Amino acid sequence: MRESSTVPEDVKQRLNWLLIFIVICFSALVIGLWYLQMIKGEEFKERAVENCIRSLVEDAPRGRIYDRQEKLLVTNRPAVVVSIIPAEVDDLKKLSERLSKIIGISPEDISQTVKNYRENPFKPVKILDDCKTNKIVEIEERKDELKGVVLEIKPRRDYLYHDFAAHSLGYVGEIDKEELQQFGNPKFQGGDIIGKAGLEKYYDDILRGEKGGKEVEVDALGQEIATLLYQRPVPGKDLVLTIDRDLQLYGENLLYDKKGSIVVSNPNSGEILALVNRPSFSPNIFANGISGSDWERLSSDADYPLTNRSVQGLYSPGSIFKVVTAAAALEEGVTDRKRKIYCSGSFELADQVFVCWKETGHGSLSIVDAIAHSCNIYFYTLGKDLGIERFNKYMQKFGLGEKTDIDLPAEAIGIIPSAQWKEREVKEIWFPGDTINLSIGQGYLLLTPLQVHNLITAIAADGEIYKLHLVKKIISADGKTVKEIKPEIYKKVDFSSDTFKIIKEGLRQTILKGTGWKANIKELALAGKTGTAQNPQGETHAWFIGFAPYENPEVCITVFLENGGEGGEAAAPIARAMLEKYFNIHK
């Protein structure tokens, strides 16, 4: 009889523990599979889909900009952008090194750009804008070893005339972090192109349009094999400006080597026909992504080429302000057509001596002659009789110290001094001599060329100041008019008809026999006023304001030359040339 085999007790224990271990492992495996399928299944499904489906944003072309005759000024051109989709990159360091050899950007900068991007890893991160053709070809040829690199065609702004009307047109650029936070609009994302200055900024909502996009299926190498979904972008609306291209170009040539501005407008509508600012810059350097060296050069330039002098520059108006002094004195009964004041060449007040520009004096003058010859003594006397309080009332009537509400951003309001202003800002009381200086546009008074321009439009249109504007109409991409900008009265200056008549006579005589004779045009009845403003920082500023024709004004002009010398010598001939161009008078 065979003896039955027995399993030692220690072996049994080991088998039991092994069985328990196997059960635990199997249970863990079952639980893990259940977790992956039931709990994380949707997430992994989405990731699998995202790994083979690429979502691409298609930027909308910005609206084009035309002059008043619908001549194209600003458009868009296609530019190829090199981007990296982070989720599709296996080895960022190797990819950066390979791409660097093609596009000329350091591997470290490429890697850092991708790492700094904190948004959707499936969204392309821009590495190089406006890639050149030879680099595009090489990237396409080496696609197999550049997995994650994509080439996108994006619209880029194209300013057709270099620095033409640059301060009015403005420029575009990438939205920055501060702007993203400021706007708080989910439609905006990092890398979006927005208006940064000028009309591009003021009308950004209209020009920008709406983005489109597409979803494409890609293979293991990241190459597109099928388009699954496509949403066409909606182009921005176009702007037709009030600017006349040829007149603007002519004015820019006149100021080519100067600092200053020219404003030409229709006093009966507020339409600006030319808005010249010099020195200038090319908006294209911003559209293409401005380099650090270009920004440093522009921002540190002592001549401030980025400053819109017409809208942001603040200057003493000098003798052109005598128009305001004359209007206030006539309205307040301080003077009239018959009153004559003797000019000996000097004027004394409280132990101070104020002089006329003509040292020998002008003799006895009426107000019409005083305007024509720009006699300081006559206007010193009117200023003394008016006093600062009445002065302030009439400056406000002309809208000085306020924005003109032109359709451009960052407009300055100027400085309109008063006794209260001086006590608050200078910590001094107002002296009688301050009023004397103010009466000829000197002292603390600072105005923009646009504010000065409103003075002459008010006189030309018998008190009606129309809101100055640069956009005539807005049209859709298919050419249909969406909105026409109607003339809008900005301010009504309620003076007597006799006040306007006397001042106009003085302005006409300025051209015929006074300080503005160099603006005279034989074929055109023109009225105007010159100004030479003292400048503590250097040479005097030269001014000219005027309108034509005299009997039925259809155009007003303001010429300002920073450190330009005397208004009659420097600014008046430029005004004459601009008016000859406008009225097609050939010399």
| 404 SS3 class | coil
| Residue 242: both structure tokens together | 């009030």
Please count the other Cβ atoms lying within 10 Å of the Cβ belonging to residue 189: 14
345 Cβ partners below 8 Å, 6+ apart? 355, 356, 358, 359, 360, 361, 377
Does residue 148 contact residue 95 with C-beta atoms inside 8 Å? Answer: yes
In 108-267, beta strands by DSSP E: 125-128, 149-159, 171-174, 193-197, 212-218, 224-231, 238-241, 260-265
Q: Which of 582, 556, 575, 558 is nearest to 518 (CA)?
A: 575
- Prior bond to 78 cis, omega within 30? no
Set 265, 282, 319, 374: catalytic member = 319
Q: Which helix (H) or strand (E) holds 393?
A: helix 388-397
Q: How far is CA 20 from CA 27, 28, 33, in A?
A: 10, 12, 20
319 tagged catalytic: yes
How far apart, in whole angstroms, are the C-alpha atoms of residue 275 and residue 169? 10
How far apart, in whole angstroms, are the C-alpha atoms of residue 265 and residue 284? 27
Residue in this structure with the two tokens 């093609």, named with its chain if needed:
102
Q: Which residue type occupies 275?
A: L
Catalytic residues: 319
